Amino acid sequence: MGHWAITALSAALAVGAGPALAGPGLNPGGSEGDSTPAQRQLAEQLNKAGLKYYGSWRCPACQYQGRLFGTPAVESLPYVECARPQSLPAQHQACLDARIMGFPTWIHPSGERRVGVQSLDELRDWVATP
């Protein structure tokens, strides 16, 4: 394991991220607990509004962002995985097309983007903006 991988793993463990889940429904860092109705409703609103959440399975900040939603809300987020070009080439290409430079990145249908972890309140207010 290279130095950068050890550093990333240390950072992930420091924020309590644990391992990200892999598979067809890539989980960008959900918690082990259940989502509240408000968390599930917000995830649904983000989907309906057309926001996109770009991230990486190995990004500690993305894992933290996911834990803010809990499980299963995190699994229904409009998530695009950027760091699996071999297994998810269409999502990887979407990240390149969107010029994603950092994780997590949220993009509103208006074109406005926000980079970094967003609180649930920030996302709730943002999704209400036309």
The sheet carrying 52-55 orders its strands as 79-81, 52-55, 105-107, 113-115
Strand partners, 115: 105
Q: Where are the alpha helices (DSSP H) in 15-59?
A: 37-49
CATH number for 97: 3.40.30.10
Residue span of the structural domain in which 74 resides? 3-21+29-127
Is a pLDDT exceeding 70 seen at residue 9?
Answer: no
- Give the tens place of pLDDT for each residue, 58-116: 999 999 999 999 999 999 999 999 999 999 999 999 999 999 999 999 999 999 999 99
Reply yes or no on whether the pLDDT at 21 is more than 50.
Answer: no
Report how many domains make up the chain: 1
Please state the pTM of the whole predicted model.
0.75
Q: CA 106, CA 55: separation in Å to the nearest integer?
A: 9
Sequence letter at residue 120? L
Q: Which helix (H) or strand (E) holds 126?
A: helix 120-127
d(CA 63, CA 20): 7
Helix (H) or strand (E) holding 12: helix 3-14
Q: Which pLDDT value is given to residue 121?
A: 97
